[in-house]
Amino acid sequence: MIRIEHRRSDSPFIAQVWRAHASGVETMTSVANSTWELVVWTEGEQLLTTVRGPETRASTAPVPHDSSSLGILFAHGVHMPHLPVTGLVDAETPPRPVRGSGFRLRDGSYPLPTYEAAEQLVDRLVADGVLVRDSLVADVLDGLAPTVSPRTVQRRVHATTGLTLGTIRQIARAREAALRLGDGEPILEVVHDLGFYDQSHLSRALSRFIGRTATQLARGRHAQPLSLLYSPREGAGFAGPVTGAAPRRTMETPPGQG
């Protein structure tokens, strides 16, 4: 079983903070996610850290036995200039063992984050210039009209998220559909409300981004746990129906996977 809790943050740099414990589960389905995260977890006697990039498709991931973990999901537009997120799409940095009570990032050593006070670590990373934020990207994904050209918007979104606006919105819509289906909303209502062409269009999106069919989600039948699904309205860039290729409640989830 995998148990997880998560919370929002007042920091404009943080989308969500979560922590989890897993036992008796070997694999899970990691759903697509348009944000990147810093993860700390236990594996046997080791304490490890990694930076995990956005995921553009659902995949099967291993779950360390009897493991505890903590993650900070960063908001859209937040990035680390020394570690471009464009190189972390569907990837992560090699796990690093924690030495003592701190971990290495860029050329500095930082205290491990805690669930209750993750903002303290983030504030220090911001002060040291490790983390920077492009407010234009956040504003655009919140639905505000940009004051620059569409080409500039796309360039800055890609530079800070590793993804295109279209991909971010498609992931957000699929996640929203999965949440609604899990809540019992009829499939055809989800198709209509979220702007899918038809049920086949919805099914393709769910298979690609969630790794489940609409029927499986509606019935709650999962061969293996799903990673965390948090509401796209809380930071996944969904601003309503999306057509074509453009424009956190808790579920069972494994450690170290968003």
What the block records as the tokens of 115 is 């669930």
Q: What is the DSSP string of the chain?
A: -EEEEEE--S-TTEEEEEEEEE-S--EEEE--BSS-EEEEEEETTEEEEEEE--BSS-EEEE--TTEEEEEEEEPTTEE-TTS-GGG-TT-BPPPEE-BTTEEEETTEEEEPP-STTHHHHHHHHHHTTS-EE-HHHHHHHTTPPPSS-HHHHHHHHHHHHSS-HHHHHHHHHHHHHHHHHHTT--HHHHHHHTT-SSHHHHHHHHHHHTSS-HHHHHHT--SSPBPP---GGGTT---S---TT---------TT--
126 pLDDT higher than 80: yes
Q: Which residues pair with 36 in a beta bridge?
A: none
What does the alpha-carbon distance between residue 230 and residue 221 come to, in Å, rounded to a whole number?
Answer: 19
Query: What confidence tens digit (pLDDT) does each residue in 171-208 have?
Result: 999 999 999 998 889 999 999 999 999 999 999 999 99
Which amino acid makes up residue 55? E
Residues 177, 194 contacting (CB under 8 angstroms): yes
What does the alpha-carbon distance between residue 219 and residue 208 come to, in Å, rounded to a whole number?
Answer: 19
Would you state the pLDDT for residue 229?
Answer: 53
Would you state the pLDDT for residue 226?
Answer: 64
Q: How confident is the model at residue 247 (pLDDT cuts 50, 70, 90)?
A: very low
Would you state the pLDDT for residue 257?
Answer: 39
Nearest CA to 253 out of 72, 28, 73 is that of: 28
Query: What confidence tens digit (pLDDT) does each residue in 68-109 have?
Result: 999 999 999 999 999 999 999 999 999 999 988 789 999 899
Q: How confident is the model at residue 1 (pLDDT cuts 50, 70, 90)?
A: confident
Higher pLDDT, 137 or 258: 137
What the block records as the tokens of 159 is 């530079």
Range 40-47 contact pairs with CB under 8 angstroms and sequence separation of 24 or more: 40/69, 40/70, 40/71, 40/98, 40/103, 40/112, 40/113, 41/67, 41/68, 41/69, 41/70, 41/255, 41/256, 42/67, 42/68, 42/69, 42/255, 43/67, 46/97, 47/97, 47/98
54 pLDDT higher than 70: yes
What does the alpha-carbon distance between residue 63 and residue 29 come to, in Å, rounded to a whole number?
Answer: 10
Q: How confident is the model at residue 158 (pLDDT cuts 50, 70, 90)?
A: very high
Would you state the pLDDT for residue 99?
Answer: 83
Would you state the pLDDT for residue 248?
Answer: 29
Average pLDDT, whole number, for the chain?
A: 85
Would you state the pLDDT for residue 235?
Answer: 43
What the block records as the tokens of 59 is 């995949």
What does the alpha-carbon distance between residue 182 and residue 189 come to, in Å, rounded to a whole number?
Answer: 13
10 pLDDT higher than 70: yes
Q: How confident is the model at residue 154 (pLDDT cuts 50, 70, 90)?
A: very high
Would you state the pLDDT for residue 183?
Answer: 87
58 pLDDT higher than 60: yes
Would you state the pLDDT for residue 19?
Answer: 92
Would you state the pLDDT for residue 218?
Answer: 82
Q: How confident is the model at residue 224 (pLDDT cuts 50, 70, 90)?
A: low
Would you state the pLDDT for residue 245?
Answer: 27
Would you state the pLDDT for residue 250?
Answer: 29
